[in-house]
């Protein structure tokens, strides 16, 4: 695959097989993330890798519980409003039961925290595609990154004082007959380009 074809064929996977991807594949995804650029070469993005099913289930429960306590307010970001509404139903999905969830945290007092985490996440999703793994950006922990219950849950898992989660990526083999992610590129309707 050439580079552009490879980038365009990265798609979000939202149904996963339960089996754990090979350790060397997970490590390669992490390495790709760690080699992302960072503002001023700060390299302060902290990757927290969750592979324990019980921990992932418990985290999903905390996230659902905390969202379900919230009310949708006028002007609220549509995806967050959607997550709040869904959390009050049985149809709520946090990480789609993927076997791996990698959180990207960064210092809350660092101006490039979200940008740096985003670069790490995109690198990881591209690497996952290269390794025939499905992936999906999971944003709920960013919306809840000042929530006390979520923070208390993540501290023993390695979230440092002064860090907040700015994104996460679910990882695993796609629950499809061939185990491969759907790589059909989505047509571009937006992201306009203006040349001068
Ligand atoms: C900042 C950001 C946040 C996202 N949050 C979520 C999320 O919480 N859950 C989810 O299922 N997908 C999430 N996505 C994935 C997008 O929905 C997806 O990239 C988009 O619909 C395009 O589809 P594609 O990734 O298959 O090309 C997020 C993507 C980005 C860039």
- Under DSSP, is residue 100 helix (H, G, I), strand (E, B) or coil? strand
Helix (H, G, I), strand (E, B) or coil at 123: helix
Rounded-to-integer distance, Cα 94 and Cα 77, Å: 17
The residue whose CA is least distant from atom 13 of ligand 1 is 137
| Ligand 1 nearest atom to the CA of residue 140, by list position | 8
Confidence of residue 168 (pLDDT cuts 50, 70, 90): very high
Query: Is residue 14 in contact with ligand 1, taking CB distance under 6 Å?
Result: yes
Q: Is the dihedral of CA 139, 140, 141, 146 positive or negative?
A: positive
| Residue carrying the six token digits 């990881």 | 124
What was the pLDDT predicted at 62?
Answer: 97
Rounded alpha-carbon distances, angstroms, from residue 135 to 96, 113, 171, 188: 10, 22, 5, 20
User: What is d(CA 55, CA 69) in angstroms, rounded to the nearest whole number?
Assistant: 21
**Could you tell which of 6, 11, 12 is best to mutate to test the pocket of ligand 1, judged by most ligand atoms within 8 Å of the CB?**
12
pLDDT (tens digit per residue) in 106-147: 999 999 999 999 999 999 999 999 999 999 999 999 999 999
Residue in 136, 166, 180, 181 to alter for ligand 1 test, most ligand atoms within 8 A of Cβ: 136
Report residue 141: phi and psi, to 5°: -70, -20
Residue 15 — pLDDT band, cuts 50, 70, 90? very high
Q: Does residue 138 line the site of ligand 1, with CB under 6 A?
A: yes
Q: What is the model's pTM?
A: 0.97
Residue nearest to atom 18 of ligand 1 (CA): 12
Of 8, 151, 123, the closest CA to residue 66 belongs to 151
**Is residue 1 very low, low, confident or very high in pLDDT (cuts 50, 70, 90)?**
low
Dihedral sign of CA atoms 140, 37, 125, 21 in order: negative
Q: Which tokens in the block code for residue 131? A: 């390794």
């Amino acid at each position: 695959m050439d580079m552009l074809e490879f980038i365009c064929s990265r798609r979000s996977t939202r149904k996963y097989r339960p089996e754990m991807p090979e350790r060397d594949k997970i490590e390669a995804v992490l390495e790709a993330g760690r080699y992302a650029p960072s503002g001023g070469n700060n390299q302060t993005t902290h990757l927290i890798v969750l592979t324990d099913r019980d921990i992932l289930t418990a985290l999903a429960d905390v996230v659902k519980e905390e969202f379900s306590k919230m009310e949708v307010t006028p002007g609220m970001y549509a995806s967050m409003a959607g997550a709040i509404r869904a959390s009050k139903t049985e149809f709520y999905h946090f990480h789609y039961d993927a076997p791996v969830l990698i959180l990207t945290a960064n210092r809350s007092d660092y101006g490039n925290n979200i940008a740096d985490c985003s670069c790490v996440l995109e690198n990881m999703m591209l690497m996952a595609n290269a390794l025939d793994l499905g992936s999906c950006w999971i944003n709920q922990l960013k919306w809840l990154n000042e929530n006390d219950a979520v923070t208390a849950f993540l501290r023993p898992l390695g979230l440092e004082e002064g860090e907040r989660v700015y994104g996460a990526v679910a990882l695993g083999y796609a629950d499809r007959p061939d185990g491969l992610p759907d790589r059909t590129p989505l047509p571009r309707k937006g992201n306009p380009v203006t040349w001068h």
